Chain A
Amino acid sequence: MLFTMHATIMIFFVIIPILAGGFGNYLIPLMIGAEDMAFPRLNMCSYWFMWPAFGCMILSFFMPGHGPGAGWTSYPPLSVLLSSAPGSGNAQTLWTLGMIFIGVASMMGSLNYMTTIIQMRAPGMHMFRMPMTVWGMFITAIMQAFALPVLTAALLMQLSDRVLLTGFFLPEAIAANNASPASGGGQPLLWQHLFWFYSHPAVYIMILPAMGMVSDMLSCFSRKPLFGYRPMVYSITAIAGLGFIVWGHHMFISGMNQILAVSFMVSTMLIALPSGIKVFNWIGTMYGGRLHLTTPMLFSIGFVSMFIIGGLSGIVMAAPPVDIMIHDTYYIVAHLHYVLFGSSILGVMGAIYFWFPKMFGRMMNDSLGKLHFLLTFVFLNGTFYPMHLLGAKGFPRRYADPYQLEGMLELLPMNQFMTYCAIGMGAAQLIFLVNFVGSMFVGPKADRNPWNSNSLEWSAPSPPGHGNFDFQPIVYRGPYEYSHPDTETDHFPQIVAEATDMKNVEVNA
């Protein structure tokens, strides 16, 4: 139950809302030169839909079974039969209901993002002059718009299987509690397909915005243009497109059609191409640059390195024979945490350090930040890296007491080591908390552009007041013109028309 709630809350209430909800709503208008999102009221609506969802999730903790019984993937028949596990009663129903609310909320949010980005860019802000952050958010919004309705439909069917006792996901010949011998005619695999049709793209929904933000930070602190801006955009789009046709790789041992499995393997391996392009472009951006190792930069570098590990283990698992071996072992846990924690969360942390001055008008403490990074990075690897080894030994996930299995006891010390590291990692976050709250009140005042960055949000006041901009932004170039030969300073903001105007900007700022 705790695992389920950990997964659900982390994915649907932490990463997606912070990345898409928080940063998206804040940064998109600022970065494209709009005074607000296209539909503020829709945004409000979307926000208020989050609370019933969250309420449902919390309530399900207090129902019999203390949380939903079927895991965050909610596979039938476990999730459909009403008394198959302690948490299969109201707790599961509330979970389903909460997920439906989130689906609606995210759908409204993504409509808002797409409309804002398409229609409300400042004059001169072509699609190919948008910062990677905005691109990441845009593609994310499109993915949400396409994938979420499918999950919502599937959840509604599951809810009706539970409440109206229909049988979309129930096979014949199940004779247990609410399934009479007469029910059935459905197929559990249908749920898996529909679920992963959303939940695989959800992985990219969780990482694409972070990728965008990291691209911005890397370019800014390397004082170099982003290496291959257009390939970066195309590779994001390709990841999104391919991301829709790889969902089957979560189902290799579900008894799915083998030809289908092979085609999913091929598309999964293909997705390594655009991901590889991105990694090499990030490295290319840093190569030969004048690196400023500020806290956000450290987190960005951490992101890239963790993403390489997470990505490589992903390719390993893409092949069905390998996946069948390591399915439901700690190898999978390692992979997903390297991608979600190692990459997404590190990216988010970096982004918070980076945009904090814009949000609150004060800088965060750099030394504390570096300490935070160091501890997080070390403990993160200490926690998740051994999982690869454990997984390769066959250590299963989701077991209450795996040591009852033969040969697992010798792995106990490694598990203990991981536990200490995890505690350390949690403790390290306290530093961040202190730094964040403290800096809100006592941090040194930040001016408009503390990092000497180019993109549009750094031309607005810090913090930006109502309406975001105190002037009409007009955009003359892309966001990555660092160390431009025509300028004396090493940055060349998007709003400045000519190199000779740079002096005036400095004075005004």
Chain B
Amino acid sequence: MNETGQPTHKKNSPFIFIIVFLMLCALTGLSFWIGRSHLMEDKFTGWSAMMAVSVAKAMLVVLFFMHLWWERPWKYVLTLPAIIMGALLVLLLVPDIGFRTERYSQERNSSAAESRELTLDSVNSEDVHFER
């Protein structure tokens, strides 16, 4: 510690930041690539992979750019509860809003958006006839 209370962290030479920066760029490319690769064939796999990449990127930024790597873990005291609380909030929203279509009324369902495949699967478009 120096007199201003800032951690001195002598070890962090610019090279570390450049390496982290390059890794971030590479990871961005990776998530872009995942978006177009065969991983997206199974949506869930693709999403998980992309979120994993995003978490990795966020961790890199937090640990190195935000100096958490060199500092004592005091900062987790509030950021971690915030993250947990946030996850909990989203999780508890899922039953009521995430699964809302399961409890749509007939009326509401009839004006809700719907999958185009579902519409078109049930008709044969070659079977066009007109009333004369």
Please determine if A and B sit in direct contact within the complex, based on CB atoms under 8 angstroms apart.
yes
Name A's B-contacting residues (CB within 8 A).
114, 142, 145-146, 150, 171-173, 181, 184-185, 187, 189-190, 193, 197, 244-245, 248, 255-257, 259-260
Number of interface residues, chain B, beta carbon within 8 A? 22
Q: Given A142, A146, A173, A248, which contacts B92 in the complex, CB threshold below 8 Å?
A: A248
Query: 19 A-B Cβ contacts within 8 A?
Result: A114-B78, A142-B78, A146-B82, A173-B105, A173-B110, A184-B111, A185-B112, A187-B96, A187-B97, A189-B96, A190-B93, A190-B96, A190-B97, A193-B97, A244-B88, A245-B92, A256-B95, A257-B96, A259-B95
Contact A193 B108 (CB under 8 A): no
Complex Cα spacing A257 to B113, Å: 23
Q: Which chain B residues border A259 with CB–CB below 8 Å? A: 95
Mark B81-110 against chain A: 1 for CB-CB distance below 8 A, else 0. Answer: 110010011001101110110011101101
Neighbour of A245 across the interface among B88, B99, B100, CB < 8 A: B88
Residues of A within 8 A of B110 (CB): 173
- By beta carbon, the residue of chain B nearest A189 is B96
Chain A: minimal CB distance from B73 (Å): 15
Residues of B within 8 A of A184 (CB): 111-112
- Report the Cα distance A173→B104, complex, angstroms: 11
Known pairs A172-B111, A257-B96 / 11 extra A-B pairs, C-beta < 8 Å: A146-B81, A171-B108, A172-B112, A173-B108, A185-B112, A185-B113, A189-B96, A190-B93, A257-B95, A259-B95, A260-B96
What separation, in Å, do the CA atoms of A392 and B81 have in the docked complex? 40
Q: Are A150 and B89 in contact (CB under 8 A)?
A: yes
Q: Which residues of B contact A189 (CB under 8 A)?
A: 96-97, 100
| Residue from the set A173, A181, A197 with the largest chain B CB neighbour count within 10 Å | A173
Q: Please report the C-alpha to C-alpha distance between residue A248 and residue B95 in the assembled complex, in whole angstroms.
A: 12
CA distance A145 to B104 in the complex (A): 35
> Which residue from chain B places its CB closest to the CB of A175 in the assembled complex?
B111
9 tightest CB-CB pairs across the interface, nearest first? A257-B95, A173-B111, A173-B108, A172-B112, A189-B96, A172-B111, A187-B97, A190-B97, A260-B95
Distance from A330 Cβ to chain B, minimum over Cβ atoms (Å): 28
Q: A175 → chain B, closest Cβ, in Å? A: 9
Tell me if A173 and B107 are in contact (CB < 8 A). Answer: yes
How distant is the Cα of A189 from the Cα of B113 in the complex, in angstroms?
Answer: 19
Report the separation of the CA atoms of residues A192 and B26 in the bound assembly, to the nearest whole angstrom.
42
In the assembled complex, the CB of A501 is this many whole angstroms from the nearest CB of chain B, namely: 33
A187, B111: Cα distance in complex, Å: 14
A146 touches B97 (CB 8 A): no
Chain A min CB distance to B6 (Å): 15
User: Contact: A172 with B92, CB < 8 Å?
Assistant: no
A260 in contact with B92 given A185-B112, A185-B113, A193-B97 (CB within 8 Å): yes
In the complex, A337 Cα to B73 Cα: how many Å? 43
Residues of chain B lying within 8 A (CB to CB) of residue A193: 89, 92-93, 96-97
| Closest Cβ–Cβ distance, residue A284 to chain B (whole Å) | 30
Select the residue from A255, A256, A257 with max chain B CB neighbours within 10 A: A257
Contacts of B97 in A (CB 8 A): 187, 189-190, 193
Residues of A contacting B92 with CB < 8 Å? 193, 245, 248, 260
